[in-house]
Structures are given as structure tokens and as C-alpha cells.
Chain A
Amino acid sequence: MSYLEYTVKSVPVGLRKIFFLNWPLALLLASVCGIGFLMLYSVAGGSFTPWAEPQMKRFALGFVLMIAVAFVPIWLWRNLSGLAYGGSVVLLIAVELVGDSRKGSQRWIDLGFMDLQPSELMKITLVMFLAAYYDWLPAKKVSRPFWVFLPVVIIFLPTALVLKQPDLGTSILLLAAGGGLMFLAGVHWAYFTAVLAAGIGLITAVFQSRGTTWQLINDYQYRRIDTFLDPSAEPLGAGYHITQSKIALGSGGWTGRGFMQGTQSRLNFLPEKHTDFIFTTLAEEFGFIGGMSLLGLYALIILFCVATAVLNKDRFSSLLTLGIALNFFLFFAVNMSMVMGMAPVVGVPLPLVSYGGSAMLVLLLAFGLVQSAHIHRPR
């Protein structure tokens, strides 16, 4: 439903907007970040450097930015969606050309004061643009082939660019978030069923063909898929991390070993103990109760987002909020599955907890959009 049908009068203006912020959501986000600071302090061996302190500074900056974004009317953000999407795609192309190559992949642009990872930005702008698209598209056209094909292109363009970096984790996240938004917008079931069926069919075909005369891919590619699916096949490579991560988690027990008392996660066996594997430290030091608390906070954030989205009569706002929540969910779901040995190791951090500036800033900006949608909802 469009804004023009409602009186804008009842929407709060000026600094009064601060009272209409979704404060419970903001506090939930802050508590998750707080858990992150504690863990970063702990993995550094009880020191604010090198991780906890910069992370706190970025959080302060991010929180202020979130409120700033929230103050800007949501219709303005909708009108900017196309520009944001286009800009992100340009940045993704730029990173190919001038990006800083770290750990063997091109992902970063050095902005001087911080490093920007355009693929992080892309996750949000893609959702924004799709939400704007479906807000504009009349409901009856949603499931027509041409109008389904268009968003598919919108999703595949950045996904391909990210895949080329190469960053498999983020491209899967982009694909999933884009698909999810199409689903929310009401694209007909048949499309999703068809894609799922085709996917399953293709995978079965590839596996069935192994060792036969009509083998579809090379042997070495099969071996790669094997280790990807079952890391324990390679105990000193990727499997090593998963095994160690499970030991660390498991040894936490109900209540954990106590703050700063973890042995497993602090013995440096994980190269990314302050980023991708930070959940192991939490689970080891605070046990099942600690892990569940974080999961509970995440669940509450998702619930709050879904609730505000459903109650919001503006179609763009609803779709955007749900899309951002989905993104957030995908983040921690993939990360937690990975450290618990349920999914292959792909480089996805734990949102708002793992050390990293780009991810945290972008997430807080995204929640700024959610807040803006909430403040400026039609009344």
C-alpha cells in the first residue's frame, strides 16, 4: 500500500522520532554486540587490544549511524534503492580492479579509515532494490514469467561478481536472501518447486554419473566436492578445524568453564578464533546456557522484525524489514551450523559478535532502515 493513501501528518517529525524508535530492538542489538566485546576481550587473553577496543569504537559509530539512518523517512530510502543497488554493483566491479587481495581473494577496498567490503553492502542493497521492485510491481503481475525473470537477473548479477572474488559463502547468502524476498513478495509456488526439483535433479545426475562413461565433471572436482561435504575426510585440513571446534563446544557442558577459562578455543588451534569461530569461545566458556542465550537473543531480533513487518501496512517497509531479518538469520544460521559441524566451512562471520568493521557497520545501517520503516510506518 502506498504512502499517498495515508496522511503523513501522524508520522513523527524532527527529534521526536527518537521516542518512536523500536527501542527493544535497539537494545537487543546492543546486547548481542556486548556479548561480542566480552568474547573478543577473552580471546585476546584478557586484553582490550587488539580486537575488543576497535570493535567497541565501531559499534559506537555504527549505533549513531543506525539512528541517523532511522531518522531519514523510509520513502526517501525507497527512492534511493535503485541508486544503492547500482552503486554496490559498481563497487563490486571496482573491487575486482583496485581491490586489496587478502587471504587469496579480492574483497576489500581501502577507504583510508577503514576497509570496505562491497559484498557486505550488496547484501542490503539487493534486498532494498528487490523490495522497491515488488512495491512498484502491481500484485497481479508478480508471478508472470517476464516479471519473475527480471528479479532473477537482479539477483544473479551481484552473485556472479561475488562468486568471482571468490567468496562462496557470501554468494550463497545473496542467492538465498534474494530468493527469500521473491518468496515473500508472493511469487508463485510453482517456480520455487521447479527450481528445487531442477537443482536436486542436477546434483543427483552429477553424482550418479561418477565412475560411469558419461561422467559430467572431472575426478578432481569430485574430490573437492567430497571434502567440502565431509571435512573429516581431510583430518589435517578443513576437517581439523571442525573437529577442534566441536571439542571446544562440547567441553563447555551446561555452564561452561567460566569467563576467560576456556582452554580449547584459546590454544590457538583455530586461525579465525576472533572472527568465524568466535562462537566456540562463547560456547566453551559459558556452556549450553551461554550459547542458548545468544541464540535466544538472535531469535528475539528475528521475531521483532517479523512482527513489525507484518504490522506495517507499507509494502516496501514490510518487504525490506523481512529481507533484512532474513539476511541476519542466514548469517548466524550458516555460521553456527558451520562451527557445530552441520555445514561445510565457508567464511561467514557471526553477526555483530565476530570481529570485523564492515559487517558490523553494514548490519547496523540495515537495522537503521528497519527502524526508519518502523518510525515512518503509515498510521
Chain B
Amino acid sequence: MRRNRAENDASHTRLTRRAALLGGAQLLFMGGLAARMRYLQVDQADQFRLLAEENRINIRLIPPARGEIFDRNGIRLAQNVPSYRIVMVREDAGDVDMVMDRLAAIITLDPEARERVVAEIKRSAPFLPVTIVDDVSWDDVSRVSVNAPALPGITPEVGLTRVYPRGPDFAHVVGRVGRVSQADLDALEDPDQVLRIPRFQIGKINVEAREEGLLRGTAGTKQVEVNATGRVMRELARREGESGKDLQLTVDAKLQSYVQARLTGESAAVVMIDCQNGDLVSLASAPSYDPNLFIGGISSKDYNPLLNSIYRPLVNKTVQGTYPPGSTFKMMTAMAALEAGLIGPDETVYCPGHLDVAGRRFHCWKRAGHGWVDLETSLKQSCDVYYYDLALKVGIENISAMANSFGLGIKHELALSSVAAGLTPTKAWKKANRGADWVIGDTVNSSIGQGFMLASPLQLAVMTARIASGREIIPRLIKSVDGVETDNAEIPLLSMNDNNLRKMRRAMYEVVNDRRGTAYRSRIIAEDMRMAGKTGTSQVRNITTAERARGVTSNNDLPWERRDHALFVSFAPYDNPRFAVSVLVEHGGGGSTAAAPIARDVLLQALAGGDPPLEAYPAGDRDRIQEQQEKLRALQPQAALDGKDQA
């Protein structure tokens, strides 16, 4: 490609000439741009600045109204109420201190808060409104409005805030909202612009948090024209947002309030589930706390007692707390053996009060022993040795698998924060998590719900509902969204021999209704409400030999936090199960004394739809029950009793 040098030079000269021409044209155009910029920004600046100040159009987000939450009967559990606040726009106020002085003369203004607000005003952009006082009364709002001419830049604003009319009763179900924190924003990939609205509230825990997507809604926008003092002159255009969806829970507020009242003074949890469709009709954790305290930010004076209490009011014991299920687990061991065909029709086991396994002695709770026991007796009297024996035959893997199919060791999907999965140990699990081999003693402990076994009251309620119905009940908390019923398909049957399930139910009936049953004292007399159940006591720790030597033999001699947990699971009516309930009383002692009476009261309350007739109770209990009913009525919110807050 040799070319004539002269020709090359000629073409390069031409290129240079044209490049200069084009470059010159470009510079000329840039000169034009600069002139235009000068015209707009210098010559016409005053006019445009005036336009900007006097007649500026801005787009404001309209925060959506958060969806409200109702109970199964339409009682409001979370609602929005108007709240007033006073805001200042620095740009419009001019002399901030002078305006603040005038404002302080009209309404009460905490000097410390005032200092903080003034600092915030100086820090933020001049045109951004800064809240001076929140939650002001209507009187203050009208006073500010009347004095508006003397208070440039100050405007009262109205917003919505969340209120929980049932207070502590639903803190562990509905949860609560709070101001959007930096942590909330960081947790989201692409935070909605609406979250940046000052004072916007976001769900923090439980249903409020887990169903944030349904409850929040989408922001609308409005274009407004504002004048020099920041006052909105007119609205130019408006695009409505969409308010959040209303949720209806499966919980029965009236029952829930009763249960919370019944648990007063205890550190306890009650879960009641509908045996037919899995609806959670009550989910109570005591003690509870008032979620309304948290909405505007809680003071440390209020917060520290909640945080430090040994009764742990902030913990949702129904789903978050896991406990050794104790003897309530015996149905699982029995079912595993029955399904494996390891229990003959009349087979009995001799209980001498203990069983020696691999050189270690495992005691029955009854030191003297139960003698010859069959399946029904073993459950009725809660004989431990019988289950030790069964477990050795059936093995831990079968027991754990059986427990899983009854919903233990499985995390149930609910719109609640930190739902625990519990634990049904297996050999592989122990190897992986404890780095040790499974020993036969572990199987023995597991057979009576001790050792590694852990379950939440929710899981125990699901287990009981599955035994009672023979169906694979799945707990449900959200009943409907904006009036549309959530998925409520036919529940499949458990793949188990119906006869075996019937045997279990019969044995549980005996536990409560047989004179020698462990829960006989908590029986229900009314024929159509008969209860079946199982007691449980879960050891927090063993009573040491040293303590036994000192004469400590029963729980009552121990300090509260070292006593056993009391458990009771039950369902009623026996012939046609409606509700299953699990009760856990932390450090309550024995299941039969601490937990079973609660289960009976709660079941009767649910079945009767209010205070049950005294005739349902055994004659000897009636006076005491009547007294208790009166006391509890005083503890419940008045609205809960007459159902006035029904929407």
C-alpha cells in the first residue's frame, strides 16, 4: 500500500483544514451554549428565582393509610388514628430563634427538646419541614393556627399513627410498628420512597412486620403549587396511592383477652388451635407488654424493666420459646411403636420404678413403680419405664420421624417473628451438632420428651390437633386479606392407622377422666364438652444428690427459676374434637396442678363462647371457679366483654 507522499500530505492538509473547521464550529456552538447559560442564569436569574420561590411546583408523596388488622369476628386489633404535629420550614421562618420563642409562649415546649430541634433545623436543608413537637393536642393545633401570621414557617400537620386498642393482649400476635430506622432501610434492597417520609411507620415485629408488603400500600403523589411562605396555593394534579390491605386474623379477640387475663401472674403460654381447619384462635404469651409504648420510640424508663424482667415479657413464648415437651411427648413414642406393630393387644410391661440400661439406672417418676402396665395405663398414669422399654424396641429414628409427621421439629410458616423449629434429635443430628455418637441413654431420655427434645407450645398444640382430628392440621393465622379468604383447602388425612390414633385419644381421655389419671382433678363434667389430654413436666435441671440429702425432694422447695416447667396438652370435646390447646407454665411445677386447670378453663371458655356454666365443672370446684370468673372479668377490658368495639 505504498502511496504517493505528495498525495498523502495533500490529504492530511485537507483533513487538518476540515478538522479545524469542524472544531471551530463545535467551539462556536459551545459559545452559543455558554451564552444561553449566561442568559438564563445571569440575565434572567432574578425572574427565574422569583418563579422558583413564588410559584414552585413540587411533588409530594401522600403516605398510604396502613391496612388495619381485625380479629376473626371483626374486632379491631390495630387501627389508624389521626395525630397532629407542628413542623417548621427554616427557609420560611427566617429568624428561627424568634419564631421558636413565640411558639414556646403559646404551647409547652420542653427546653431540651427545643435545643435538639433547633440543631436539627440548622442541619437539614432549608426547605425541608422539621417536626418540632409530635402528638400535640387539638387545642395546641388550634392555638398555632390562630396565631399563624405571627409564626412564619410554622404549620400544623396531620398524619396517621397506629394504635393498638387491645394493648398487651396482642403484642405477641399483631406485633407493632415503629419509625423507619436506618437498619430497616439497609435491610431492603430497593427501599420504597415512601419510607423516607419523615415519621413514616414500618412494621417491626410479628404480623405487622411479616405482612408489611400487604399492610403498607403504595404512596400516591400530588403536585402542588406553593408560594413564598411555603403555603400550598393549590393542588395541580393528584395520583391516588393505594392504601394497605386489611387483614383479618384467625384469633378470637374475646377469647384472647380472657386467656391473657387467666395467665396473669404466670410466665406462661397458651396456644389454642381449631382442630378442623388449623385456625389459631388464641396465641397468648404472658406476661406481655403494651405495644403502644413503642410506637413513638420507647423511653428507657419503660424499656429496661421489660428487658430485664426474669419473666421475659418481650419473648413470644408461644412460638419462639422451646421447651423439653416432657411426658406430653409420650404419645409420639407410643404412636411410633404402634405404627411399627411393636405393641400387641394385651401386652404389658412391668415397672419396678426404674429401668437399667447400659449400666445406668433410669428412674420412673414414681419411685415405687407402677407394677404391670399396658398402653392405656401407661399414658394415664404417665409411667416412664413403659416408654423407656418401647423406645429401646422402636429406636430414635422412628420416634423422631413420627414426631415430625405430627409437626414437631418442623418450623411452621406463620406471619410471626422468630418462629422456632424446635428439635427432634436423630443420630446424624447429634454427630453433626454435638460431635458425639448417639448413646442408648439418649434414646431413653428422648422417649419421655427429655434430653435433646425441644418443642414450642405452638408445635405441641399442632401435635394435639393432629392426634384429635387425624388430619395433617397446619396452623393458620391470617384468615382473610381485604375480605378475601386465604387458602383454606381440604386438609389431608395423616397416613396412619386410624385404630392407633383412636387408641391414643382413648388413653388421653383416661388421663383426664379416670379416677387414677394424672389430670383427673381438671376434668370437665359436661357430657358434650369432655376433655382429653396429657400432662407433662419438663425438667429444668435434676435435683442433685446434695439437695436430696438436704431434704429437697419437690419443686416447691426450690427457687422459682429452678422449678420444672408445667405442660398440658388437650382437646375437647372428646367425641367430636373442636379445639386443641397446649399450655406451658414456666417453672410452674407439675403439669397436672399448674397447667391442666388453665387448659380446662380456656377450652370451656372457647366452647361456651364466653363464661361457661358452672355445671361444666366438678361440684367441688364450682365455688372456687365462680370466684375466679368474677376476678377475671375485672381484669379484662370492658370492651372485650360486651363486644362493643366490633366493627
Q: Chain A: residues with CB nearer than 8 A to chain B?
A: 1-2, 4-5, 45, 50, 138-140, 180, 183-186, 236, 244, 246-254, 260-261, 263-264, 267-269, 283, 287-288, 291-292, 295, 298-299, 302-303, 306, 309-310, 313, 315, 318-319, 322, 326, 329, 333, 336-337, 340, 342
Type the 1/0 row for B40-82, where 1 means its CB is closer than 8 Å to any CB of A: 1110110111011100111100000000000000000000000
Interface: B2 (CB within 8 A): yes
A329: chain B residues within 8 A (beta carbon): 26, 29
CA distance A244 to B190 in the complex (A): 28
> Which of A183, A267, A287, A315 meets B18, CB within 8 Å?
A183
**For window 220-239 of chain B, which residues contact chain A by CB distance below 8 Å?**
223, 237
Interface: B15 (CB within 8 A): yes
If A250-B47, A302-B26, A303-B23 touch, whether A288 touches B11 (CB-CB below 8 Å) is no
Asked whether A184 lies within 8 Å of B22 as measured between CB atoms, the reply is yes
Interface: B7 (CB within 8 A): yes
Chain B facing A: main interface SS: helix
Interface: B127 (CB within 8 A): yes
A298: chain B residues within 8 A (beta carbon): 30
Asked whether B52 lies within 8 Å of A248 as measured between CB atoms, the reply is yes
> Which of B16, B52, B126, B237 meets A251, CB within 8 Å?
B52
Chain B: number of interface residues, binned into ranges: 35 or more
**For window 170-211 of chain B, which residues contact chain A by CB distance below 8 Å?**
190, 196
Type the 1/0 row for B1-39, where 1 means its CB is closer than 8 Å to any CB of A: 111000110111011101110110011011001101110
Asked whether B40 lies within 8 Å of A254 as measured between CB atoms, the reply is no
A333: chain B residues within 8 A (beta carbon): 26, 29-30, 33
Closest B residue to A342 by beta carbon equals: B36
If A183-B22, A253-B41, A333-B30 touch, whether A140 touches B36 (CB-CB below 8 Å) is no
B34: chain A residues within 8 A (beta carbon): 292, 295
Closest B residue to A246 by beta carbon equals: B40
CA distance A11 to B49 in the complex (A): 56
Q: How far is the CB of B183 from chain A (nearest CB, A)?
A: 15
Q: How far is the CB of B8 from chain A (nearest CB, A)?
A: 5
Q: How far is the CB of A44 from chain B (nearest CB, A)?
A: 11
If A249-B40, A340-B36 touch, whether A299 touches B30 (CB-CB below 8 Å) is yes
Asked whether B26 lies within 8 Å of A139 as measured between CB atoms, the reply is no
Interface: B342 (CB within 8 A): no
Asked whether A261 lies within 8 Å of B125 as measured between CB atoms, the reply is yes
Closest B residue to A326 by beta carbon equals: B22
Asked whether A250 lies within 8 Å of B52 as measured between CB atoms, the reply is yes
CA distance A167 to B53 in the complex (A): 36
If A139-B7, A139-B10, A251-B51 touch, whether A337 touches B33 (CB-CB below 8 Å) is yes
A236: chain B residues within 8 A (beta carbon): 237
B127: chain A residues within 8 A (beta carbon): 263
B33: chain A residues within 8 A (beta carbon): 295, 333, 336-337, 340
Additional A-B contact list (4), CB under 8 Å, known A261-B126, A298-B30, A318-B15: A1-B8, A268-B58, A288-B41, A309-B19
Asked whether A269 lies within 8 Å of B57 as measured between CB atoms, the reply is yes
Closest A residue to B91 by beta carbon equals: A263
CA distance A267 to B47 in the complex (A): 19
If A250-B41, A252-B41, A288-B38 touch, whether A295 touches B52 (CB-CB below 8 Å) is no
Asked whether B56 lies within 8 Å of A264 as measured between CB atoms, the reply is yes
Closest B residue to A184 by beta carbon equals: B18
A138: chain B residues within 8 A (beta carbon): 3, 7
Q: How many A-B residue pairs have CB under 8 A?
A: 143
Max chain A Cβ within 10 angstroms of own Cβ: one of B8, B15, B53, B223: B15
CA distance A138 to B16 in the complex (A): 17
Asked whether A315 lies within 8 Å of B48 as measured between CB atoms, the reply is no
Q: How far is the CB of B379 from chain A (nearest CB, A)?
A: 60
Asked whether B45 lies within 8 Å of A250 as measured between CB atoms, the reply is yes
Asked whether A306 lies within 8 Å of B45 as measured between CB atoms, the reply is no
Closest A residue to B190 by beta carbon equals: A50
B22: chain A residues within 8 A (beta carbon): 180, 183-184, 322, 326
Asked whether A315 lies within 8 Å of B11 as measured between CB atoms, the reply is yes
CA distance A131 to B526 in the complex (A): 99
Q: How far is the CB of A82 from chain B (nearest CB, A)?
A: 16
CA distance A140 to B41 in the complex (A): 50
A319: chain B residues within 8 A (beta carbon): 15
17 pairs, CB–CB < 8 Å, chain A vs chain B: A184-B18, A185-B15, A250-B41, A251-B52, A252-B45, A261-B126, A267-B56, A269-B57, A269-B58, A303-B23, A306-B20, A315-B11, A318-B12, A319-B15, A322-B19, A333-B29, A340-B33
CA distance A303 to B18 in the complex (A): 14
A186: chain B residues within 8 A (beta carbon): 11, 14-15, 18
Q: How far is the CB of A304 from chain B (nearest CB, A)?
A: 11
Closest B residue to A299 by beta carbon equals: B30
B14: chain A residues within 8 A (beta carbon): 139, 186
Asked whether A5 lies within 8 Å of B30 as measured between CB atoms, the reply is no
Closest B residue to A303 by beta carbon equals: B23
Asked whether A267 lies within 8 Å of B48 as measured between CB atoms, the reply is no
A264: chain B residues within 8 A (beta carbon): 52, 56
CA distance A311 to B109 in the complex (A): 73
> Which of B10, B37, B53, B59 meets A269, CB within 8 Å?
B59
A269: chain B residues within 8 A (beta carbon): 57-59, 223
B56: chain A residues within 8 A (beta carbon): 247, 263-264, 267
Asked whether B37 lies within 8 Å of A260 as measured between CB atoms, the reply is no
B40: chain A residues within 8 A (beta carbon): 246, 249-250, 340
Q: How far is the CB of B423 from chain A (nearest CB, A)?
A: 40
CA distance A250 to B46 in the complex (A): 8
CA distance A355 to B19 in the complex (A): 31
B42: chain A residues within 8 A (beta carbon): 253-254, 288
Asked whether A313 lies within 8 Å of B41 as measured between CB atoms, the reply is no
Closest A residue to B11 by beta carbon equals: A139
CA distance A252 to B20 in the complex (A): 34
Asked whether A283 lies within 8 Å of B37 as measured between CB atoms, the reply is yes
Max chain A Cβ within 10 angstroms of own Cβ: one of B16, B23, B45, B237: B23
A295: chain B residues within 8 A (beta carbon): 30, 33-34, 37
Asked whether A267 lies within 8 Å of B41 as measured between CB atoms, the reply is no
CA distance A158 to B51 in the complex (A): 43
Max chain B Cβ within 10 angstroms of own Cβ: one of A50, A287, A303, A310: A310
CA distance A359 to B15 in the complex (A): 28
Asked whether B1 lies within 8 Å of A4 as measured between CB atoms, the reply is yes
B47: chain A residues within 8 A (beta carbon): 250
CA distance A267 to B58 in the complex (A): 5
CA distance A321 to B342 in the complex (A): 89
Closest A residue to B52 by beta carbon equals: A251
Asked whether A287 lies within 8 Å of B41 as measured between CB atoms, the reply is yes
CA distance A149 to B97 in the complex (A): 75
Q: How far is the CB of B52 from chain A (nearest CB, A)?
A: 4
